[in-house]
Amino acid sequence: MQNNKYYFIEDYSPNINISGGTVISLLPDVSYKLGKRGISYKILEDYYDESALRKDEDKYFFEQLGWIEKFDRFLKENIKLCDELSLNITRAYFNSIKFLVDTLVIQSYIAKRFIENNHGCEITYIYDASKGPQAREIHRYNSSERTKFFQQIFSVLSEEKDSSFKFEEIGFAGEGISGKPVPPDRGANGKSLRCSVRKGLKSGYHMIKYKKYASYLNLLSREQQFKKNVLFLHTSTIVSDHLVRQFLRKGCNVYYLSDNVVYSMSDMFEKPVFSFKHMCEDSYYKSIKTETDLLASTFGGKSSLVEWVNGKCGFDATQLILPYLKYFIEDVCSEILFKYKKFIAFYRDLDIDMVVATNASDNNSKSALAAAKNTNINRICFQHGTDIYNNRNWHINDIDNFDYYFTFEPLAEERFKRAACYDYVNNTKIFQMPYLLTNTRAKRTSKNIDRERKKELSHKKRILYVPASKSNIHSRCYNNMTYPVLWYYELQKRLIDFFASKQEFEFIYKHANNTTRQWASKSIIPYINSKHSNNIILETRLIYEYIGEIDGVIVDRPTTPLFQGAMLEKPLLCLIPEFISSHIDKNAFPLFGDNISVFQTDEDAVNSLNRFLEDIIMGNCAAPGKIPFRNDDVFEVLTEVGKRRD
């Protein structure tokens, strides 16, 4: 007789008895801890088909767009300022709202499939009760380490009349999550002095970083100038920093946004010119917040907006989704409306000609871009990352928020040009500026070439492995290929085991230590260390820094590293799971050819890796072909951008 007892482990404790049933790991760090103790476990991905999960996602996308339009009508009907400004806050918040709702819908699908396939089962859910409830912050939802609905979903489903399973929860007192200690207040004078010192150091650093001295020399030489007032919403990336230098050199007045403060960068020493730091104390903000608080308090589960989510989940998920939607109305809408009005005043006071960004994800960007649209200021985006998916999320989150969009590779340019013609997307002008990639290729200096010649004397071939840099804990959405992280952890374990067995090679595991990879620091990184394999090296350097040091590149998610890897002009292998192959841009296959390998099982992936390494040894593995870049002249394109639109 089949054992129908299951232990769902969200947090592992050796003090909890999990014998006599099947153990289901819900987090990668739990999988690592169970594996380390020799405890057999399964994951929820073993109980459903990923392709079936995604079969109707295009239909879902358009239904969701209709739901978002309905939500915006609701806000305009109930928030006076929303109506006066004709502001579509929900659409501006598309990516964050979508990650929230889709995660709930996807996890509901997975939970229901599990119950259907294990009729009459008993589930014990084990978790660390000291960690407390998850914060209802939508804009941080998709990067939260504790993003989860499973516990609530199974609890609600078990209480339905026709429930076919039993559900119990066991919370234990673990380590919890403690915040960083607040430093003691040393007095306003000391704080002011520290701030002044930091600002001075930052100004000096930026003077060198952005080559301000060159811009002043250009002014003295009376070089023909591109005199515009430009606000940068994002800096400190390779592309944005390059652009800041170019705009300064052309004689622009450059402003940049950092931590709720706008600074003037054109002066030798920077100064703040605008701030949101004391938003909550502002009387105008308080008046907006009063209105949104009132609306949130009356917004209930009977709303057709909540009913739509319930329909997609297949059960009454009101108690799960409602707190987040109330938070959106109460806190997000008030913040965006306040900042929207403040940005309009800022644009007029400083006569801003254009707003430059690399994305529209954060709250400040959403407000700034909406205000720019209202005041006929052109919005320009320089792509921050790319992939080879037919990804409708890009259409709303990126293209729709801008008037001019510069991709950094030709496949994205062609896809975005097609998308800009769709009736649900803004008629954005699409161009190409491949600086991020061509800059990688330009790093092949004589120093690097010399280093490559030295490398040829090594007896071991070195392979750079670049795993997916974005893979959230449970937080996933349709119309964008985010890997199921538990499945991905198991795949990575299999690849690491294979690497450890190939002692004739050295493998560099390039770890991206960002917010969406925190799970890796608690699971796959300890797993690698536990192997004690002297041929696997953990590093966090930028990809271009490996020029001259490697003999091949492996990526397992076809995003920006695929293109950066191609720029290294070394043999390249991109592993793609079969369940996403139908989402790949068909033009990517002719461009990358044999560099792309589609696999169904972990063993298929390992076999592809083995052939790749054998070809490198035999010298039969060629580097990718040249990517046909086209570099549009940014200032030629933007010559007319600073003018107000008719």
**Per-residue pLDDT reduced to its tens digit, 537-560:** 999 998 888 888 899 999 999 999
**Whole-Å CA distances, 420 to 148, 188, 432, 585, 635:** 34, 52, 15, 16, 22
Domain ranges of the chain: 5-55+103-177, 195-285+332-434+632-640, 440-618
Same fold for the pair 195-285+332-434+632-640 and 440-618: yes
Residue 177 has pLDDT above 80, yes or no: no
User: Which letter, b or e, does each residue of 439-464 get, where b requires 16 or more Cβ atoms within 10 Å of its Cβ?
Assistant: bbbebbeeebeeebeeeeeeeebbbb
CA-CA distance, 634 to 631, in Å (whole number)?
A: 9
**Rounded CA gap, 511 and 540, in Å?**
5
Amino acid 623: pLDDT: 81
- The residue-averaged pLDDT of 468-491 equals 87
Say if residues 358 and 383 touch (Cβ distance below 8 Å). yes
Half-sphere exposure in the Cβ direction for 309 (13 Å, CA) = 27
Position 46 scores a pLDDT of 96
Q: What is the pLDDT of residue 220?
A: 45
Q: Which residues contact 219 (CB under 8 A, 6 or more apart)?
A: 225, 251
How far apart are the C-alpha atoms of 633 and 261, rounded to whole Å?
A: 30
Comparison of pLDDT for 622 and 464, the residue scoring more: 464
Give me the mean pLDDT over the 421-430 stretch.
Answer: 95
C-alpha span between 361 and 394 (Å, rounded)? 11
- Please calculate the CA angle 358-362-365 and round it to the nearest 5 degrees: 60
Q: How far apart are CA 57 and CA 416, in angstroms?
A: 19
Which residue do the tokens 């871009």 mark?
Answer: 369
| pLDDT mean across residues, the chain | 87
Q: In this predicted model, what pLDDT tens digit does every residue of 258-267 receive, in sequence order?
A: 988 999 988 6
Q: What are phi and psi of 269, to 5 degrees?
A: -110, 125
pLDDT at 179: 37
pLDDT tens per residue across span 36-89: 999 999 999 999 999 999 989 999 999 999 999 999 999 999 999 999 999 999
- The pLDDT of residue 646 is 44
CB 348 within 8 A of CB 371: no
CA distance 50 to 326: 31
Task: Please check whether residue 79 is in contact with residue 291, taking contact to mean a CB–CB distance below 8 angstroms.
Answer: yes
CATH code: domain 440-618 is: 3.40.50.2000
Q: What's residue 506's pLDDT?
A: 97
Q: What is the pLDDT of residue 134?
A: 67
What is the phi-psi region of residue 5: left when phi exceeds 0, alpha when psi lies from -120 to 50, beta otherwise?
Answer: beta
Q: Top-level CATH class of 195-285+332-434+632-640?
A: alpha beta
By mean pLDDT, which of 31-35, 235-239, 415-419, 636-640 is the weakest? 636-640
**Which one-letter DSSP state was computed for residue 276?**
-
Mean pLDDT of 297-307: 92
* pLDDT band at 180; cut points 50, 70, 90: very low
Where helices occur in 300-332 by DSSP H, the ranges are 304-313, 318-327
Question: What is the pLDDT, as a whole number, of residue 621?
Answer: 83
What is the mean pLDDT of the segment spanning 392-402? 93
pLDDT above 80 (res 204): no
Whether residue 376 is predicted with pLDDT greater than 60 in this model: the reply is yes
Residue partners of 341: CB distance under 8 A and separation at least 6: 81, 284, 371
- Those residues whose C-beta lies under 8 Å from the C-beta of residue 474, and which sit 6 or more positions away, are 26, 103, 107, 147, 148, 149, 150, 485
Of the chain, the percentage scoring pLDDT greater than 70 comes to 85
Q: What is the pLDDT of residue 262?
A: 95
Tens digit of pLDDT for each residue in 148-173?
Answer: 799 999 999 999 988 999 999 999 98
| Residue 307: both structure tokens together | 């009913």
Give the mean pLDDT of 377-392: 94
- Amino acid identity of residue 268, one-letter, is M
Whether 508 contacts 550, CB under 8 Å = yes
E strand intervals along 400-460: 404-407, 429-432
pLDDT of residue 470: 72
Compute the average pLDDT of residues 454-471: 79
> Quick one: DSSP state of residue 448?
H
Distance CA 610, CA 595 (A): 14
Q: Comparing 455-459, 575-579, 640-644, which segment has the lowest mean pLDDT?
A: 640-644
pLDDT of res. 406: 97
Give residue-wise pLDDT tens across range 82-134.
999 999 999 999 989 999 999 999 999 999 999 999 999 999 999 998 887 66
The answer to whether 560 and 538 are in contact (CB under 8 A) is: no
- CA 225 vs. chain centroid, Å, equals 37
* Start-to-end CA span in the chain (Å): 75
Q: What is the pLDDT of residue 211?
A: 52
> In this predicted structure, what is the pLDDT of residue 503?
96
